[in-house]
A and B are shown apart, each in its own frame.
Chain A
C-alpha cells in the first residue's frame, strides 16, 4: 500500500498539530512547564495580539536562557495593561522607565550586567527590551539606532499593532497606507493614511548591520518561538519585529486576531523573514497566496475603501500592488528568491509621486 504523506499545518496553540509532534518539536507554549512570564489577570482587551506576542516571546526567551532574563518595557499598551496599580502580571524582573528611551535603558542594563558578570564570574542575565511601534519606531527611534550603533547586547522586540493604540489609535510610522486612525481620518482626497509616508524599521535595523533581525506574527507560534530562541544564541544587538493585530484599533472581532495576522502574511502585506548582519537569510514562504481584499475587508480601519456609496477600488489596487511588490522583493512565493537588500516600500511609493 502506498504511503500518503500527511502534512500538519500549525493553526494555533492547542490544535492537534502540536500534540502529535515529538516533544522536542512542540512549542514552549504547549508545555505546562512554560514560565508564564506574563501571568493571567492583566488588563488587556479581549483578543489583544500584543499580550499574546509578549507571552509567546518572553516565555521562549526564558526557556532558552533557563529563566535568566531581565526585561525593559516602554510606555504603551503592554506596560499599562500588565502593571495596573497596584499589581503586576510580570513574573520576571521587569522595568519601565519612559516612552522613548527603552533601547538606551536596556543598553545600560546590559553594560551593568557585563560588569557584574566580570566581577562575580557568573554569566550575566540576558536583557530584553520591549516596546510598541510608537515607543520603538517613532519616539524611541533615536535610542534604538544608538543601541544598534553600539551593538549593545540587547534583544529588542517591537510589538507592532501599527498605531498608537494606548492613547486612542493615532497614526504611527508603522500605520499602513490608507488605514484609518484618529489622526488619518478618511476624508475627501485623503483615503486614510498617506501612501508615501512611514518607514520600514526591520530594513533600517538591517542597514545598521546588527547580528540578527527578524519579523514574525502571532499567527505562527513555532516560527516566533524559533526566532526568539535563535536570537538568544547571539550576543550583540538583535531586533525582532512582531505584527500583533489590535482588535480595537483595527476594528476586527476579538476572535480574529490570529486569523488577521495570518492573512497579513499570506497576502504579502507583512513579509516574514530573517536577516543576519544586513542580509536576508530566510523568508517564510506564502503557502496559499490570498488577495489583499481578504485581509482588508474584515477591518473597520479599511471600511471606507469598501463603502457601497463611495468605494475606492484604485486604493485597493494600490495596496494589492504594494503586497505584490513585497512578494517579489522578499521572494515570498515558492521558487522565488529574495533581493539580498530589499528596498523599502516607502521608497517606491515616493518615487511614484502619485
Chain B
C-alpha cells in the first residue's frame, strides 16, 4: 500500500512484516525512530509473537540477538556510528558463528569529533567483519532490502547489515509502497536454522577452533560471500515477481550504455548524481551512473561489466580512510584494473556535509576537461585548513583542534572569529 511516511517508519513496518521473534535494540541517533516504532508495535500487539528487549547498550543489543538467534529465533537490531563500534566484538562473533541476524545501520559519522550526521565511516569500519553489507538508495529500497535481507541471511547462515543514510533517508518523508503480509509470507518462509540449541539434541556451539581448522572456517565464510553474489540477484528477481518492482541486487546502471564517464557511488547521493547526469546529458556529455547496492561481498564481475567501455571512472564516496584515501575506490579499482582504468576518487559528504548538485557539476566538469585528480575532496575549505596549520606552526599550545576550526569556520561578517 502506497504511504507517505518517514523512512524509519517504512523500515519498521517492513521489518515487522518479516515476523521477527526477538528484537534487542539500544537507541542512537539517527536510528531511534525505527526501534521506537518496532517497540510500540510489539507493545500494541500489532507485531505478534515478538519479544522486544530494551537493552542497556549496543554491546548487549548484539549479544541479545546472538543468544536469541542461536536459540532458533528470527532476530533484528539496529544501530549507527558509535553504537556500531561499541558492539564490534559481538559483530564479529555473530558472523563468525554464522548467525542470520539482520541489522540496520543508519549511517552516521564516527567521532571524535562527535558528529551525528551522515557518512559511511561506521559501516565501512566493519567491512571486514564477515557481515554482508547492502546500501539503500531510497526509502523504498531501504524497506525492500530488509525483507530481502532476512531471506538472504537465512539461506546463507550469515548476518546482513542493511545500510541507509542517517537523517537523509531515515528522517525523510517520502512515498513508500509498504507490502502486504501475504506478499512477505510468500517470499520469506519461517526461519529454519542450520544450528540450534535444543535439549532434545544437545550441541556445544562457540568452542575454540585451533590452527588445524581455523583457516578452513574462515575460507568457508568467504565462499559463502561468493555464493551470495549468485544468490542476491536471484533473490532480487524473485522479489520483483512477488512485489512488482526491482529493488536491491548487486549493481544498478543509469544511462551507462554509451557513457564515456561513469560515476560510481552508494546510497542516497545516487539520486542527486542522477539529476546532475540528466542535466549534463542535455548538454551532450556522455555520462552515466553505476549504483553499487551490494558492497560486501564486493561484486567484482558485475562492477567490471558495468564499467566496460568507460573512458573515465569517478568514485564518489562518503568515507575517508585517514592516512590512506578512499575505501570504495580501492574495491572498484580491483574491478577496473582489468579494464585498464584507474578510477578517480572523490571524497564527499563527510560528517553530513551536503553533496550538492552544484558541487557535483563542478567536479564532473573537471573530469570532462581531463583535470580531475586521482584523489580529491569535494568542497574542502583549504583556506580553513591552512589557517589551522599556520596556527600550529606559530604556537605549541593550540588547544583542541576541532574546536579551533569550528570557531574559525563561523566568522562574522567582518571576517572576525566569533
A residues with CB within 8 A of B: 67-70, 72, 80, 83-86, 88, 90-98, 100-101, 104-116, 118-119, 125, 142-143, 145-146, 149-150, 152
Q: Does B198 contact A (CB under 8 A)?
A: yes
Partner of A108, one of B64, B201, B212: B64
Q: Using A83-B207, A101-B63, A143-B60 as known contacts, say yes or no to A112 and B199 having CB atoms under 8 A apart.
A: no
Q: Using A101-B90, A105-B63, A111-B22 as known contacts, say yes or no to A116 and B205 having CB atoms under 8 A apart.
A: no
Q: Does B323 contact A (CB under 8 A)?
A: no
Question: Which residues on A sit within 8 Å (CB–CB) of B197?
Answer: 70, 93-95, 109
Q: Using A72-B67, A112-B67 as known contacts, say yes or no to A95 and B206 having CB atoms under 8 A apart.
A: yes
Question: Which residues on B sit within 8 Å (CB–CB) of A114?
Answer: 51
CB atoms of B204 and A142 under 8 A apart: no
Q: Which of B201-231 contact A (CB under 8 A)?
A: 201-210, 212-213
Q: Does B346 contact A (CB under 8 A)?
A: no
Q: Please classify how large the interface on chain B is, using the bins under 10, 10 to 19, 20 to 34, 35 or more.
A: 35 or more
Q: Does B68 contact A (CB under 8 A)?
A: yes
Partner of B22, one of A83, A86, A93, A108: A108
Residue from the set B70, B89, B212 with the largest chain A CB neighbour count within 10 Å: B70
Q: Which of B283-334 contact A (CB under 8 A)?
A: none
CB atoms of B22 and A96 under 8 A apart: no
Give the Cβ gap from B56 to chain A, nearest Cβ, in Å.
4
Q: Does B93 contact A (CB under 8 A)?
A: yes
Question: Which residues on A sit within 8 Å (CB–CB) of B59?
Answer: 100-101, 104, 142-143
CB atoms of B49 and A95 under 8 A apart: no
Q: Using A93-B197, A112-B21 as known contacts, say yes or no to A85 and B68 having CB atoms under 8 A apart.
A: no
CB atoms of A97 and B71 under 8 A apart: no
Question: Which residues on B sit within 8 Å (CB–CB) of A97?
Answer: 63, 66-67, 90, 93, 97, 206
Chain B 46-78 interface mask (CB, 8 Å, partner A; 1/0)? 000111011111011001111111111101000
Closest to A107 in B: B64
A220 vs B49: C-alpha distance when bound (angstroms): 43
Give the Cβ gap from A203 to chain B, nearest Cβ, in Å.
20
Q: Using A100-B59, A104-B63, A143-B60 as known contacts, say yes or no to A111 and B204 having CB atoms under 8 A apart.
A: no
Residue from the set B63, B72, B89, B198 with the largest chain A CB neighbour count within 10 Å: B63
Question: Which residues on A sit within 8 Å (CB–CB) of B207?
Answer: 83, 85-86, 88, 96
Give the Cβ gap from B59 to chain A, nearest Cβ, in Å.
6
A-B contact pairs, 28 of them (CB 8 A): A67-B199, A70-B71, A85-B210, A86-B213, A88-B204, A91-B202, A92-B202, A93-B197, A93-B201, A93-B202, A94-B197, A95-B206, A97-B67, A98-B93, A100-B59, A104-B55, A104-B60, A107-B60, A108-B63, A108-B71, A109-B71, A112-B68, A112-B71, A118-B49, A125-B199, A143-B59, A146-B57, A152-B53
Closest to B96 in A: A97
Beyond A94-B205, A107-B53, A112-B73, list 7 extra A-B contacts (CB 8 Å).
A67-B199, A70-B71, A96-B207, A104-B59, A107-B64, A108-B63, A152-B53
Give the Cβ gap from B16 to chain A, nearest Cβ, in Å.
14
A94 vs B197: C-alpha distance when bound (angstroms): 7
Which A-B residue pairs are the 7 nearest by beta carbons? A108-B67, A96-B206, A108-B64, A101-B63, A105-B67, A146-B56, A112-B73
Question: Which residues on A sit within 8 Å (CB–CB) of B24?
Answer: 104, 107-108, 111
Give the Cβ gap from A126 to chain B, nearest Cβ, in Å.
10
Closest to B197 in A: A93
Q: Which of B109-156 contact A (CB under 8 A)?
A: none
Closest to B73 in A: A112
Residue from the set A93, A106, A112, A116 with the largest chain B CB neighbour count within 10 Å: A112
Give the Cβ gap from A103 to chain B, nearest Cβ, in Å.
8
CB atoms of B63 and A98 under 8 A apart: yes
Give the Cβ gap from A107 to chain B, nearest Cβ, in Å.
6
Q: Which of B257-279 contact A (CB under 8 A)?
A: none
Question: Which residues on A sit within 8 Å (CB–CB) of B198?
Answer: 93
A70 vs B97: C-alpha distance when bound (angstroms): 18
Question: Which residues on A sit within 8 Å (CB–CB) of B54?
Answer: 150
Q: Using A107-B67, A109-B197 as known contacts, say yes or no to A96 and B202 having CB atoms under 8 A apart.
A: no
Give the Cβ gap from B39 to chain A, nearest Cβ, in Å.
13
